[in-house]
Structure 1
Amino acid sequence: MPNHQLLNNMTHHDVKIITDYSTDYGDNISTVMTFPTEFGDIQKEYPIFFRKYPDSEEFQAVVMLGLFQNDNLFLQAGNWQANYIPGAITRGPFAIGFQDQSADGGSEKAPVVHIDMDHPRVNTEKGHPVFLEHGGNSPYLEHISNIFTHMMDGIEVGKTMFAAFKQFDLIEPIELEVTLEGDQVHKLHGNYTVSQTKLNELSAENLQALHRAGFLEAAYLVRSSLSNIQKLVNWQNQKMQQQVTSA
Structure 2
Amino acid sequence: MNTNYVLLNNVEHADLNVVSHFSSALGDGAAAVLTFPTEFENIQREYPILLRKDTQGGAFQAVAILGLQKGENLFLDDDAKSTNGWAGNYVPAMVARGPFIVGFQESEDGDAPQPMIYVDEQSPKLSREEGAPLFLEFGGNSPYLDYVSGVLRTIHQGEEVAREMFAALDEVGLLEPVSINVDLKNGDKHQLSGYYTVSEDRLNNLSGESLQALNGAGYLRGAFLMLSSLGNIEHLVARKNARL
SS of the residue aligned with 2:231? helix
The offset of 1:107, in angstroms, is 4.4
2:213 aligned to which of 187, 203, 209: 209
1:197 match: secondary structure: helix
Query: In the TM superposition, what is the alpha-carbon distance from 1:159 to its structure 2 partner?
Result: 1.3
Per-residue deviation, 1:125: 0.9
Q: 2:240, 2:140 → 1: CA distance? A: 44
Tell whether 2:215 aligns with 1:223: no
- Structure 2 residue aligned with 1:126: 130
- Matching residue of 1:84: 90
Please tell me whether the aligned partners of residues 35 and 154 of structure 1 are also in contact (alpha carbons under 8 angstroms): yes
5+ residue gaps, structure 1 = 241-247
CA contact (8 A) 1:102 1:109 kept: no
Aligned to 1:70: 71
Deviation at 1:154, TM superposition (A): 0.7
Question: Counterpart amino acid of 2:12?
Answer: T
Amino acid aligned to 1:132: L
Q: Which runs of 5+ in 2 are unaligned?
A: 80-84
Matching residue of 1:155: 159
Q: Is the 8 A contact 2:36 2:158 kept in 1?
A: yes
Q: Deviations over 1:149-177 (max 9, x none)?
A: 12111111111111210121111110111
Q: Aligned pairs, how many?
A: 238
1:193 matched to 2:194? The reply is no
2:166 is aligned with 1:165: no
Shift of 1:138: 1.1
1:234 pairs with one of 223, 232, 238: 238
Which contiguous aligned blocks of 4+ residues in structure 1 show a shift greater than 6 angstroms? none
TM-score by length of 2: 0.94
Partner Cα distance (2:78, 2:117) in 1: 32
Q: Which of residues 141, 148, 151 in structure 1 aligns to 2:145? A: 141
**1:147 Cα deviation after fit:** 1.4
SS at match of 1:182: coil
Q: Is the 8 A contact 2:69 2:190 kept in 1?
A: no
Match of 1:116 in 2: 120
CA distance in 2, matches of 1:83, 1:54: 31
- What letter corresponds to residue 176 of structure 2 in structure 1? E
State the Cα distance separating 1:238 from its structure 2 match. Answer: 1.6
1:179 — aligned with what?
183
TM-fit CA distance, 1:232:
1.0
Percent identity, aligned pairs only, is 45
1:80 alignment partner AA? W
Aligned to 2:82: none
1: distance between equivalents of 2:43 and 2:186?
Answer: 30
CA distance in 2, matches of 1:223, 1:12: 43
Quote how far apart the aligned CAs of 1:15 are.
0.3
Rounded Cα–Cα distance in structure 1 between residues aligned with 2:237 and 2:48? 12
| 1:245 corresponds to | none
